[in-house]
Amino acid sequence: MIRYFSSSGAGALLLTALAACGGAGGTAPGGAVPSAVSSTSDTAAPTACDAAAGLATLDATKVSLAQSYAKLFKIGVAINGSVYANRDPAAAALVAAQFNRVTPENELKWQSLERQPGVLDFAQADAFVAYAEQHGMEIHGHALVWHHQVPAWVFQNAAGGQATREQLLERLDQHMSALAQHFGSRVQYWDVVNEALNDDGSLRDTPWRTILGDDYLERVFLMAGKHFPDAKLVYNDFSLEKPAKRAAAVQLVQAFEKHGVRIDAIGTQSHFQLQSPTLEAIEASLSAFAAAGVEVLVSELDVDVLPPAYQNQGADLSLDAELSAQLNPYPDCLPRDVAEQAARRWAELFEVFARHSDHLHSVTLWGVSDKYSWLNNWPVRGRTNYALLFDRELRAKQSWQRVIEAANHTR
């Protein structure tokens, strides 16, 4: 029922050695992967692989994302122990210099906090909060109710069968209560429910839904409101640019309002590709959520530059395709034309976000550098992706520079 993916890239080396850098730049993914689709750069002539060409010329020690966007919205980043536990001091310093809000990539998920019933381990979460507070950053808690990274016992009764509705509600109440007592109001935003909708707008089948029933979102938000009166309560999901899913999220907000259930914001994850979704679809969602009367957060932004392994892959963690050279065409560095495409995409995205700054609270990147991106291991393990604004050596990329320049255009 619950699937995890490993961060190990076993088998990657042999296969990536087969792909000449830049040579596979325009190759569509192979037929070995079921429902594989064409690369976004199918028709582009491949250009040489040149790591330096993708780097910023502006000095990233003198200008920051957070400062550049200070008048528009906050700029956040998802971090792990490399940053908050200072295992990578340069990354920790970079985050402190460039960002003004943080989301823990995994540390506030149920699996990280309460593996055994009632045994709470806040060691990592506390280190995360301490890092954020030391640097005066806003904290985004992620995530109270999700169908991944929840220990099996949460949904089970003593005999290993399915827990009852009352049992599950009681466990959730106790879990939230423990978090509320521990953190008080130090967490300013909470993803209360994460990824409860399918792309067609229907409710996703999860153990939460099966056990609690179709009205579980309202129950969960009411509970969160009781425990976290000072925090902003967020519904967070991916692919909210798809019309049916967008409409379902808007309906959710409207139903909550009708029933007097507090919901403060929609987090639109924004795991994007080079050409998809369209800027128009992104704008339509930002406008629709603002019109529904809630704050909007771009909560998990990245731009996947690799050939998609699946059609409509969204961010569904159950997808797991086999590694192939075609699906991992840039093992050494990104061809110049793809780096340029990515930089243009990042600039255009931030131009859109800037236009919606009145109701956009923040834009959070899902990782500080390409090295730490989840997209190196999803939906294919062991790939080399280039999904963020700093490269594997933490150097600012052209994409970073174009984002900074996009802020200047709006002044």
Classify 47 as helix, strand or coil.
coil
Degrees to nearest 5, angle at CA 259 with 253 and 264: 40
148 is a site residue for ligand G3I (CB under 6 A)? yes
Q: Which amino acid is at 76?
A: G
Cα within 13 Å of Cα(390), Cβ side = 25
Contact 151/231 with Cβ under 8 angstroms? no
Choices 3-11, 19-27, 211-219, 343-351; region in contact with ligand G3I by CB under 6 A: 3-11
Among 40, 64, 100, 269, binds ligand G3I (CB under 6 A): 269
Query: Taking the CB of residue 96, how many other CB atoms lie within 10 A of it?
Result: 19
Contact 349/298 with Cβ under 8 angstroms? no
Instruction: Retrieve residue 54's tokens.
Output: 């993708």
Per DSSP, what are the bridge partners of residue 162?
156
Query: Which residue bears the tokens 């909560």?
Result: 299
149 is a site residue for ligand G3I (CB under 6 A)? yes
Residues between 179 and 208 that touch ligand G3I (CB under 6 A): 194
Choices 2-10, 154-162, 170-178, 206-214; region in contact with ligand G3I by CB under 6 A: 2-10
317 is a site residue for ligand G3I (CB under 6 A)? yes
88 is a site residue for ligand G3I (CB under 6 A)? no
Nearer to ligand G3I, 313 or 341 (CB): 313
Classify 75 as helix, strand or coil.
strand
Nearer to ligand G3I, 54 or 99 (CB): 99
Report, in Å, the least distance between residue 106 CB and ligand G3I: 4
Nearer to ligand G3I, 99 or 398 (CB): 99
Nearer to ligand G3I, 16 or 373 (CB): 373
Task: Check residue 363 and give left, alpha or beta (phi > 0: left; psi -120 to 50: alpha).
Answer: beta
Whether 280 is catalytic = no
| Catalytic residue selected from 105, 107, 295, 300 | 300
Q: Name the residue with the smallest CB distance to ligand G3I.
A: 374
Report, in Å, the least distance between residue 264 CB and ligand G3I: 19
Report, in Å, the least distance between residue 27 CB and ligand G3I: 26
Nearer to ligand G3I, 54 or 141 (CB): 141
Nearer to ligand G3I, 55 or 143 (CB): 143
Q: Which amino acid is at 358?
A: D
| Catalytic residue selected from 105, 138, 195, 295 | 195
Size of the site for ligand G3I (CB under 6 A): 14
Instruction: Retrieve residue 124's tokens.
Output: 């990592």
106 is a site residue for ligand G3I (CB under 6 A)? yes
* Residue burial 21-58, b: 16+ Cβ < 10 Å; e: rest: bbebbbbbbeeebeebbebbbeeeebbebebebbbbee
The angle that helices 398-409 and 336-355 make with each other, rounded to 10 degrees, is: 30
Among 125, 145, 315, 339, binds ligand G3I (CB under 6 A): 315
Residues between 214 and 233 that touch ligand G3I (CB under 6 A): none
Whether 300 is catalytic = yes
- Beta-carbon contacts of 89 under 8 Å, excluding residues fewer than 6 positions away, are none
Report, in Å, the least distance between residue 164 CB and ligand G3I: 26
User: What track of x and - describes contact with ligand G3I for positions 349 through 388 (by CB under 6 A)?
Assistant: -------------------------x--------------
CA distance 153 to 149: 12
Contact 229/264 with Cβ under 8 angstroms? no
H-state helical runs in 158-238: 165-183, 207-212, 216-227
Instruction: Retrieve residue 359's tokens.
Output: 């109701």
In Å, how far from its chain's centre is CA 234?
14
Q: Which residues bind ligand G3I (CB under 6 A)?
A: 4-7, 105-106, 148-149, 194, 269, 300, 315, 317, 374
**Active-site amino acid positions:** 195, 300
